[in-house]
A = this chain, B = another copy of it.
């Protein structure tokens, strides 16, 4: 945002942007001055609403928002932006997963000289009103969302200002037509399970992610299809619902290993939970891979440093984030996207945590 751009909200000089303008009607989107006239308020007030300022009465804000929604808004001409901003928003910044995403976004941000504003929703699935207000105020080049996604209202607020956004690996419903980047989760679950089947395992357990996470569901469906096409029935006792945390992997693995007919192999839907499985195995006096084979998912850097190193499905998180950032920049430049949904390939990385079962069936 240049000084000029920030300050000239009172003049009518503007130019339509390629994205987000003109929703719902075929007519030309309105300038700030035209919106002010429609609403019967001052240009300064419209400017405040557009920029997400809080010092506007609720009724006035709603009126201006409604006009913007109906007619669209012509963003003012952009001056040179030596320090424009890319917003990167996490539901939670928790482990190396976030590091990979941050590094991918930074790659693209540096190339385009964009500052990365990092925020997190502290575990919430959608941002609060305050978050949106702040984002509108910063007028970012775009937003990269590493969470379930904005509400319809919030999406509309960004769209009407021409602020593009892309979801990375959305955990929830992909209901929205919003652009997104994911990984081929289903294929990953299929390869992981086929690898175990090929080693001779039949009692193959799965520890899933949370049930609302579609990425995890896709991995489990890949597992089911691999089992089914190999003619091996899935024992419901061997399917355990986790939540992506190591503690949960530990608890679910303890249950599995205490079954009368325990599994000889476990496909774990993320690496963190696999760490928990390692502990449960050690506590039960079982060696990996001699007594229990384990396959993870993610291939975070730590997977190379477990003892033994973890066989896992690599999810290219850095590339996914870089792709999302590139999509945002493309949209901000008013260019069309080649694809609205991009899926990057997963890849099975075989290390030392998988081996044939001690007694092949």
Which A residues fall within an 8 A CB radius of B?
1, 3-4, 6-7, 9, 47, 51-54, 82-83, 85, 88, 93-96, 98-99, 102-103, 106, 113, 115-120, 130, 133-134, 137-138, 246, 275-276, 278-279, 282, 301-302, 304-309
- Nearest residue in B to A7 (C-beta to C-beta)? B7
Cα distance, A189 to B119, chains bound together (Å)? 35
Q: Which residues of B contact A246 (CB under 8 A)?
A: 304-305
Q: Which residues of B contact A276 (CB under 8 A)?
A: 305
Which of B3, B113, B302 touches A134 (beta carbons < 8 Å)?
Answer: B113
Instruction: Let me know if B95 and A301 touch, CB within 8 A.
Output: yes
Cα distance, A95 to B305, chains bound together (Å)? 13
Q: Which residues of B contact A275 (CB under 8 A)?
A: 302, 305
- Nearest residue in B to A138 (C-beta to C-beta)? B83
Q: Which residues of B contact A278 (CB under 8 A)?
A: 305, 307
Q: Using A93-B106, A120-B106, A279-B307 as known contacts, say yes or no to A83 and B137 having CB atoms under 8 A apart.
A: yes
Instruction: Let me know if A99 and B106 touch, CB within 8 A.
Output: no
Q: Which among A6, A7, A53, A115 has the highest number of chain B CB atoms within 10 Å? A: A115
Instruction: Let me know if A115 and B99 touch, CB within 8 A.
Output: no
**Can you give 8 contacting A-B residue pairs, CB < 8 Å?**
A6-B7, A83-B138, A85-B117, A106-B118, A115-B119, A117-B117, A246-B305, A275-B305
Q: Which residues of B contact A113 (CB under 8 A)?
A: 130, 134
Q: Which among A53, A88, A118, A119 has the highest number of chain B CB atoms within 10 Å? A: A118
Smallest Cβ distance from A194 to chain B, in angstroms?
A: 27
- Nearest residue in B to A122 (C-beta to C-beta)? B110
11 A-B pairs besides A93-B106, A278-B305 with CB distance below 8 A are A3-B51, A7-B7, A82-B137, A83-B134, A106-B118, A113-B130, A113-B134, A115-B138, A117-B117, A275-B305, A278-B307
Which of B1, B99, B308 touches A95 (beta carbons < 8 Å)?
Answer: B99
Smallest Cβ distance from A46 to chain B, in angstroms?
A: 13
Instruction: Let me know if A96 and B93 touch, CB within 8 A.
Output: no
Instruction: Let me know if A82 and B3 touch, CB within 8 A.
Output: no
Smallest Cβ distance from A356 to chain B, in angstroms?
A: 21
Q: Using A51-B3, A119-B115 as known contacts, say yes or no to A282 and B305 having CB atoms under 8 A apart.
A: no
- Nearest residue in B to A278 (C-beta to C-beta)? B307
Q: Which residues of B contact A134 (CB under 8 A)?
A: 82-83, 113, 115
Q: Using A115-B134, A118-B116 as known contacts, say yes or no to A82 and B95 having CB atoms under 8 A apart.
A: no
Q: Which among A282, A301, A302, A304 has the highest number of chain B CB atoms within 10 Å? A: A302
- Nearest residue in B to A274 (C-beta to C-beta)? B305
Cα distance, A278 to B302, chains bound together (Å)? 13
Smallest Cβ distance from A299 to chain B, in angstroms?
A: 15
Instruction: Let me know if B54 and A82 touch, CB within 8 A.
Output: yes
